[in-house]
Amino acid sequence: MNEHITIWVRMVLENLESDNDSVFVYVDCENADGFTETVYINPSELLKGIIESDTAGMDGQIQGENKYKDKNPT
Amino acid sequence: MANSTYNKTEMNRLQRILRRLTTKRMKIPYKVVFYLLFIFAILLSFLSYFSLLGCDSQAARLIQILTGLAIAATAVIALSNADLPKSKIQSQVKAYIAPNNTGEETYHKKELSDELQEFYRKCSDTFKSYRVQFKITNTSSFNWINPVVTFRLPIKGQVPNRDNRPKTITDPVYTIKKYRSNTFNTQTNVRLLEMIE
């Protein structure tokens, strides 16, 4: 039951406010009532993973895996 | 002492019966009506026991009333089964940047139009954009049928983009700002991704 979808959105993190900016993700479906989740975007926290992997030479995702590989990298 | 234990056992039995009569997913109004009917039936039974027992015509009337109440209770159960409340979606959304799929793009402020330079004034002369992954996990106890995912994104996170107009050498490279995503390549039941802002 714990299936997931991964959607990426290209963002300029440097332009975001560290505390105020958040993304609202609303999920709805035919057989249940919808749900809104607020995701707080903390640029330094997000970039920390990349910096750590750069310094340690890591080759892989740190959290989860991208099930749906994108065919049109933009 | 023995009498009180007997009463407790009887009460527990009654509670168990009442719990079984209504389903967990029954809507509250149906539950209220159902229990009211049940209480009304008990009251009528007591009234008949203490005052009207022995009178054949009254007893017959009481049976009629109780039958009517039983029919009403059945109707309430049938209605509630046809009008079950919808389950609530439970999901977990996690934002991260995948180190092997950062999609890093670099922009120089001198390549931006004046409007964009003003928009990205907070950024350094050379700034980057990244693919921020949003992993939406279904933590409900059921499958989602035709899910719709809507994102509301902050205006400031938009990335510089080229427009399709023909350009001269002196024109800036990036003149518009917008969000880009992989939604069009997602092979799932996500049929709509609405982007506000």
pLDDT string in tens for chain B (197-residue length): 556 677 778 778 777 776 666 566 778 888 888 889 888 888 877 777 666 555 667 777 778 888 888 898 889 888 888 887 778 888 889 999 988 888 889 999 888 888 889 999 888 999 999 999 999 988 888 888 888 888 888 988 899 988 877 777 777 888 888 888 887 544 454 444 444 43
For residue B121, what are the domain limits?
91-196
Same domain, B75 and B95: no
Domain annotation covers residue A2: no
In this prediction the pTM is: 0.62
pLDDT digits (tens, 9 = 90+) for A7-45: 899 999 888 876 668 899 998 888 888 889 899 888 888
Cα B90 to Cα B101: distance, rounded to the nearest angstrom: 28
Residues of chain A neighbouring B25 (CB-CB closer than 8 A): none
Same domain, B151 and B171: yes
Same domain, B125 and B185: yes
Same domain, B116 and B169: yes
Same domain, B98 and B59: no
Same domain, B7 and B65: yes
Q: Which residue of A has its CA nearest to B161?
A: A74
Same domain, B143 and B75: no
Same domain, B59 and B119: no
Same domain, B17 and B96: no
Q: Which of B119, B149, B183 sits opposite A27 (nearest CB)?
A: B149
pLDDT digits (tens, 9 = 90+) for A53-67: 655 544 434 333 333
Domain count of chain A?
A: 1
What is the per-residue pLDDT for B129? 92
**Does residue B145 contact residue A29 with C-beta atoms inside 8 Å?**
yes
Same domain, B95 and B186: yes
What is the per-residue pLDDT for A44? 84
For residue A21, what are the domain limits?
13-56
